[in-house]
Structure formats: C-alpha cells, structure tokens
C-alpha cells in the first residue's frame, strides 16, 4: 500500500520512549501511513524497532548524519525523506490517540493544515494533568487564536505539503514548533482546530521544556527572536501580518516567562504547568507593542 500519510518522528536519546510513540502510530484506525524515524544521535533505531512493526515495512529509519543537530533539522530531514503528501509530526516521547490520523488527515487535505486538542500526561506518575489550553470550538482559526490558546506543544500539526510549503526553522533557537505553525500561514489563511484530544503530550522530567532552566532559556530565546524581527529579519515568514502577530506573541511570552522565572525563584511554583494554572490570562492574550 502506498502511504498517503507520513508520520515524522525526530529521535534524540529517544530509546526509552520511541517504542511507544511508534506503537501509537501502528495502532491507528487509518492504515495508509508510513513512519519516518529520524535519528539525530547516531542510534540504529531500525535495530531498536525491528520487532515493533508487525505489519512489515511501515517504519523507515533515516539519519541527520550528525549528533544533536536539533529537532527542527531532524524534522526537515524526515520531511525530505517522506513519501506521503500528508505530513504528521510526532515527538519521540509523545503519542497519538488511535483516531488521530483518521480525523486529522482529511481536514489537512481540505484546509491545508489541522490539529487536535492535547492530553497532558505526567511521565513519572502516569496521571493525566488537566489541560490548560483555552477551549475553542472546532473550526478554522486565525493565527492569533492559535497562539493564545495552546500552553505547550505545537508538535501535533498535520499538513498537506501540496498546499503548505513550511519547513521547520533550522536555527539553534527555541520556539521552532511555534515558528513552523506561523510559517503555515504563509500559505493558508486559517488552520482547522478539532476540539478532540488526539495528541498525548508526556511531561518528561529533564526534557527541553521541563527542567529548571527552561524558563530562562525560553525567555532569552524569545528576546533574541523579537530583536531579530525588530531589526528587519523576516525569520523566513513571507506574510507580514503573521510576522506582526508573531512579534506580539514573542513580546507576550517574554512577559510570561519573566513572571514564571520569578515564581520559580520565589518557590511559589514548581513547573510551568503549575504556573499557568494560576496565570491563564497571561497566556490567553497578546501584548500590544505600541502600548506603554
């Protein structure tokens, strides 16, 4: 069967998690897919996963040819290796719900890009954390609505690459998933959001977004990216309105990350999820750069 959907999974030190991520794809209710695992750490993931693909030849393993070149570069390597016109992104420590491809692939084909709601799982306890995403009805959303409704992960977007030309930014900054989302708006006017939990985000201790220094790192990166936009760098965004919205987003995230860092220093919160639970209004709006 020719794959019409390619699920791209970048893998860096993913040995503890990659099996379950791949299994969540193999268990999909829609079967015309391939899985492209992109090693960014020199690991032979084909050998690691040889027992998982019972259907045979569903998994293809490629490599960036480097060590730690970054998730954006790994996803682009996977994008170039993919055979399907529909591309679904999945992080190696996360999972797809069983109906994710069945539900999202047709919407991506119709509208160019689509995503579903997210379940948040604590890796250590297995407990489901309450979602702090702003609840929005299913339908087409403008960029500002998307950027002010999602707490954490932008990884689960499904796109039709015949209509969406976006690639992940191959810089050594954070916010690459958010930037990819913004880049999609160079080719589409809106993105379809399905109000169903179809992506399972695992909060893994020590991961890029879940360690003590993540607040400082995200703050510094947001400052650098905002400064680049202010200096005239387009960041690869052709749409001027998208650039302006992204600039407002980065300014708002600076304010939010500054408050998060202070809360960590004061010992009033232990992680970002706990911080947002009592400061949702900071996530749900964008600052106006022209206001004092």
Same domain for 155 and 195 = yes
Q: 195 and 225: one domain?
A: no
Q: pLDDT tens string for the chain (292 positions)?
A: 578 999 999 999 999 999 999 999 999 999 999 999 999 999 999 999 987 765 557 899 999 999 999 999 999 999 999 999 999 999 999 999 999 999 999 999 999 999 999 999 988 899 998 889 999 999 999 999 999 999 876 888 999 999 999 999 988 789 999 999 999 999 999 999 999 999 999 987 656 555 567 889 999 999 999 999 999 999 999 999 999 999 999 999 999 999 999 999 999 998 888 899 999 999 999 987 776 4
For residue 291, is it within any domain? no
Domain stops at, among 177, 203, 229: 203
Q: What DSSP string runs through the chain?
A: ---SEEEEEEESS-TTTHHHHHHHHHT-S---EEEEEEESSS--HHHHHTTT-TTSS-EEEEE-SSSS--HHHHHHHHHHH---SEEEE--TT-EE-TTHHHHHHHHHHHHSEEEEEEEEEETTT-PEEPP-SPP--SEEE-HHHHHTT-SS--TT-EEETTT-------SSSS-HHHHHHHHHTTT-S-EEEEEEEEEEEEE-TTSTTSSTTHHHHHHHHHHHHHHHHHTT--TT---HHHHHHHHHHHHHHHHHHHHHHHHHHHTS-SSHHHHHHT-HHHHS----TT--
pLDDT digits (tens, 9 = 90+) for 80-130: 999 999 999 999 999 999 999 999 999 999 999 999 999 999 888 999 988
Same domain, 125 and 219: no
Residues 51 and 21 in one domain: yes
Q: Look at residue 154 in the predicted model and tell me its pLDDT.
A: 82
Q: What is the pLDDT, as a whole number, of residue 197?
A: 94
Q: Indicate whether 196 belongs to any domain.
A: yes
Same domain for 198 and 253?
no
Q: Are residues 64 and 110 in the same domain?
A: yes
Return the structure tokens found at 103: 């539900």
pLDDT confidence of residue 242:
97
Q: Tell me how far apart the 2 most distant CA atoms of the chain are, in Å.
A: 60
Which range of residues forms the domain containing residue 32? 5-203
**Rg of the chain (C-alpha set):** 18
Q: Of 203, 235, 266, which marks where a domain is finished? A: 203
Residue where one domain finishes, among candidates 179, 203, 227: 203
For the chain, the domain total comes to: 2
Question: Do residues 118 and 200 lie in contact, with contact meaning Cβ atoms separated by under 8 Å?
Answer: yes
267 domain residue, yes or no:
yes
In a domain, 292, yes or no: no
Q: Are residues 186 and 48 in the same domain?
A: yes
Looking at residue 292, its pLDDT comes to: 46
Do 251 and 198 lie in one domain? The reply is: no
């Amino acid at each position: 069967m020719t794959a019409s959907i390619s699920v791209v999974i970048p893998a860096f030190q993913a040995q503890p998690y990659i099996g379950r991520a791949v299994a969540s794809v193999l268990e999909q209710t829609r079967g015309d897919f391939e899985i492209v695992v992109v090693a960014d750490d020199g690991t032979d993931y084909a050998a690691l996963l040889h027992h998982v693909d019972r259907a045979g030849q569903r998994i293809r393993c490629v490599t960036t040819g480097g060590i730690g070149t970054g998730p954006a570069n790994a996803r682009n390597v996977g994008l170039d290796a993919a055979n399907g016109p529909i591309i679904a992104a999945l992080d190696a420590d996360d999972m797809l719900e069983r109906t994710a491809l069945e539900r999202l692939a047709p919407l991506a084909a119709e509208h160019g890009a689509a995503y579903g709601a997210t379940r948040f799982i604590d890796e250590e306890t297995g407990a489901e954390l309450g979602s702090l995403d702003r609840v929005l009805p299913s339908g087409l959303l403008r960029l500002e609505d998307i950027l002010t409704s999602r707490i954490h992960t932008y990884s689960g977007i499904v796109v039709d690459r015949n209509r969406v030309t976006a690639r992940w930014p191959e810089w050594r900054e954070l916010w690459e998933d958010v930037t990819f989302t913004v880049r999609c708006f160079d080719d589409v006017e809106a993105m379809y959001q399905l109000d169903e939990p179809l992506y399972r985000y695992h909060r893994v201790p020590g991961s890029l977004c879940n360690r003590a220094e993540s607040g400082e790192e995200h703050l510094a990166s947001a400052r650098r990216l905002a400064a680049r936009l202010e200096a005239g760098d387009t960041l690869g965004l052709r749409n001027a309105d998208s650039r302006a919205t992204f600039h407002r987003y980065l300014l708002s995230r600076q304010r939010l990350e500054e408050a998060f860092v202070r809360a960590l220093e004061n010992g009033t919160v232990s992680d970002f999820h706990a911080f947002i639970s009592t400061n949702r209004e900071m996530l749900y709006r964008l600052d106006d750069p022209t206001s004092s």
